[in-house]
Amino acid sequence: MRWYWIDRFIEFESGRRAKAVKAVSLAEEHLHDHFPEYPVMPHTLIIEGVAQTGGLLVAEHNAFAEKVILAKVSQAEFNGEAMPGDILTYTTDVEYIKKDGAMVVGTVHRGQELFGQMELVFAHLQTGHETRTLYEPQTFLKMMRMLGAYDIGHADDGSPLVEPAEMFD
């Protein structure tokens, strides 16, 4: 992943739910280009932040063994604009994880206000992509570490979230 659109996880329950926060800062370059002299965070980047939150949740559930990609934004709705100084909280709940992919429902809160909601579908890439390098699974492990998922996360049984041993090879 080239850009991170979340700052840190505040909740991570393997295969079920994740919450992450994003502080919208005037230091971000995209705010200067989107609308000159009227900095707002584009909704597409907010969707990407929710997709990163949900995508890492889906990928971690299968120990990063599947190539998980965002396949479809089924629905997205926003109430207003995100401006510098806003703290966005992304919550993703897994609707299902199947062999071919997964679906998560995401919400975005600005403070206590419901700011946006969406449904995202992820695909697990199947045959024909085994030799193609779309990303290295270790990249996601590093991202999970950096964003604090292993510090606050827990597995289905309530035990602390553990990094997959096969990722160390």
CA-CA distance, 148 to 152, in Å (whole number)?
Answer: 7
Convert the pLDDT of each residue in 66-119 to its tens digit: 888 999 999 999 999 999 999 999 999 999 999 899 999 999 999 999 999 999
Convert the pLDDT of each residue in 137-167 to its tens digit: 677 788 888 889 999 999 888 899 888 877 6
Give pTM, 2 decimals: 0.86
CA-CA distance, 18 to 24, in Å (whole number)?
Answer: 19
Composition of the chain by helix, strand, coil, percent to 5: 25, 35, 40
Assign domain 8-152 to a CATH class: alpha beta
pLDDT confidence tier of residue 135, bands split at 50, 70 and 90 = low
DSSP code of 122? Answer: E
- Is 34 catalytic? The answer is yes
Q: How many CB atoms lie within 10 A of CB 52?
A: 24
- Out of 32, 34, 43, 124, pick the active-site residue: 34
Domain boundaries, the chain: 8-152
